[in-house]
């Protein structure tokens, strides 16, 4: 028997919101850049941030040479939006001076990705906040005797 007797039904509206991600966001989610962590010896700054409202968490490590982010790595627990925005944030910060990296905003991340669904905009803050925390940690480590 083939499927001649099968009844095809329209599933109707999907339960909950449907989120559409563009190709750039999907690429950064499926193949995130700079995933992993730096060794303790290579780490000059570390940031750990989370969003208890949605359960996302991000750890970010930086290695700084001549006041530039020489290496950057992250581990993120979260939705596709959180992972993609974290990946893009690291791509934007890699090689930048500390001052330039400090100025990277969530809007910069979203623009570089070509946009993300409105309900996922808060995800872009995760990476930016983790980078700011890592830079602050780097500054504190430098000021210690």
pLDDT, tens digit, for every residue of 11-21? Answer: 566 555 556 88
Is 48 contained in some domain? yes
- In eight-state DSSP terms, residue 94 is T
> H or E stretch including 91?
helix 80-93
In the chain, the number of structural domains is 1
Strands (E), 1-145: 45-51, 56-65, 68-77
Which residues carry out catalysis? 54, 123
pTM of the model: 0.82
pLDDT, tens digit, for every residue of 32-46? Answer: 999 999 999 999 999
SS3 content of the chain, % helix, strand, coil (to 5): 40, 20, 40
Domain span at residue 102 reads 23-143
CATH code, domain with 39? 3.90.1010.10
Rounded Cα distance between 128 and 121, Å, is: 12
């Amino acid at each position: 028997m083939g499927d001649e007797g099968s009844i095809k039904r329209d599933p109707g509206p999907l339960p909950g919101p449907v989120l559409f991600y563009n190709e750039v966001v999907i690429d950064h989610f499926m193949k995130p850049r700079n995933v992993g962590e730096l060794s303790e010896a290579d780490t000059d700054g570390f940031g750990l941030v989370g969003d208890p409202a949605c359960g996302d968490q991000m750890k970010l490590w930086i290695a700084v040479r001549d006041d530039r982010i020489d290496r950057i790595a992250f581990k993120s627990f979260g939705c596709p939006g959180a992972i993609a925005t974290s990946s893009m944030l690291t791509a934007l910060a890699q090689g930048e001076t500390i001052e330039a990296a400090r100025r990277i905003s969530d809007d910069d991340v979203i623009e570089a990705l070509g946009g993300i669904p409105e309900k996922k905009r808060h995800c872009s803050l995760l990476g930016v906040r983790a980078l700011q925390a890592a830079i602050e940690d780097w500054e504190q480590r430098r000021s210690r005797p």
